[in-house]
Amino acid sequence: MKKQVTVALAGLGSRGKDTYAPAAKLFPDRMKIVAIADIDPAKVKEVADAYDVPDESCFTSAEEMISQPKLADVMFITTQDQQHVGQAIKAMEKGYDLLMEKPISPDLNECREIIRVAKKLNRTVVICHVLRYTPFYQEVKRILKSGQIGLPFEAAEAGRIPGEKEAQLRKLFEEDEPSFYQALQKEKTEYQTALYLYMKWGAESYPSYKEAGISDRIYYDTFRDMEIWYRHCLKETGIPGMKQYQWTSLPIKRKIYRLGRLQYEPSRLKDENWEEGEEIPVLEVHIPEGEPLDVQAVKDSFKEAAGFFEEVVSYKYDGFHCESWLLSPQLHNLLSKQSNILRFQDLFFVYNEIPARQAEERVFGKVTDRIEEYPEDTSLQRALKAYLQKGNKVGMGCGFIPPEGPD
């Protein structure tokens, strides 16, 4: 059983009286208020009565309380900001560990002095940055609860497996990816296990990103794809997991990076339509969903990629390559020349079109031979549906941009 901590409470304003003191009633076996101080006698009496603090342990100021022999294990300092430094240093010299209300002090040098004294005297100082009641944190809580962002913890936990089995799968993942994917397919909770493993391994890959000099922004942006494909899996199967686990394995091994609007995958291109019989090093370009395809943002991304693959992750490439429905020449029959999609397409030399139904999957969220079932909620959906109903097809265009990037 953990020891009950005794508390001397300095300051009985809304934080001291209404926020921290009630913890003594919520956890009476863990915390007991044994001394209080405030300049307002009415508040002192109110708190003394509520927490059975004897008269001899009630004081009219924090300074008066600190002048006494040590009265408790910990002192909570919830007085005015400008009073904190003097009270904190004297309390630590008296032997108290501290819980302090934010801010530590309005003066940076005073903050540093509190830290210096705490280290010198080997005292514990905890600062309460409790912001749950501020409007922006309330909004964050609402968004998280609604499921608009983030991967729910419960979803990942549904696929948890024993440590020994995880180690076996990790060994396959590192040494024999085809066998790893086969092993995942045999799991009863295939998609959930994939999500659990990738979230865990993704977090464990963070040090390798830092060692390579990759910024936190790029690390987190790169792994945002996990959330996109989690939601696809949930929508398609009703299972909170990861269906596209071959694709989403790439960030874990640092085989792909998101730099602004686009993703870049170092690759080698062998295409008879481009360089017959030869392989050339390229940066394969991928376009994550969920954001407008702003042409300036795209150009900024190409510019960032040029610096990133020269200065951070060294990779010599002969150009940028992309295979996507967004490069299909057929889109010229559907969209205005000023559309972002065609302006994006114009950045590339489009040299081929591959038969595929990616456009239908991306625009309608599914693929079916019953074209009449496709929704018509957006102008693009209506235009594409009408085009398909006439017997036309929209494939995947293959495009290339020289290594210096788009004009």
pLDDT mean by block of 10 residues, the chain; 407 residues: 86 90 90 96 95 96 96 95 93 96 88 94 89 68 60 65 90 95 92 91 90 92 89 86 93 96 92 63 94 93 96 94 96 92 95 94 90 91 93 95 91
Query: In the prediction, which pLDDT does 175 show?
Result: 94
Query: In the prediction, which pLDDT does 2 show?
Result: 62
Query: In the prediction, which pLDDT does 339 show?
Result: 92
CATH class (in words) of the domain with range 5-128: alpha beta
Start-end of CATH 3.40.50.720 domains in the chain = 5-128
Model-level pTM? 0.62
Token pair belonging to 13: 């304003």
3-state secondary structure of 322: strand
Query: In the prediction, which pLDDT does 1 show?
Result: 44
CA distance 300 to 312: 17
Give the closest residue to 199 by CA, choosing from 175, 229, 237, 174.
229
> How far is the CA of 273 from the CAs of 350, 354, 396, 397, 399, in angstroms?
11, 11, 14, 12, 11
The residue with tokens 């040494």 is 175
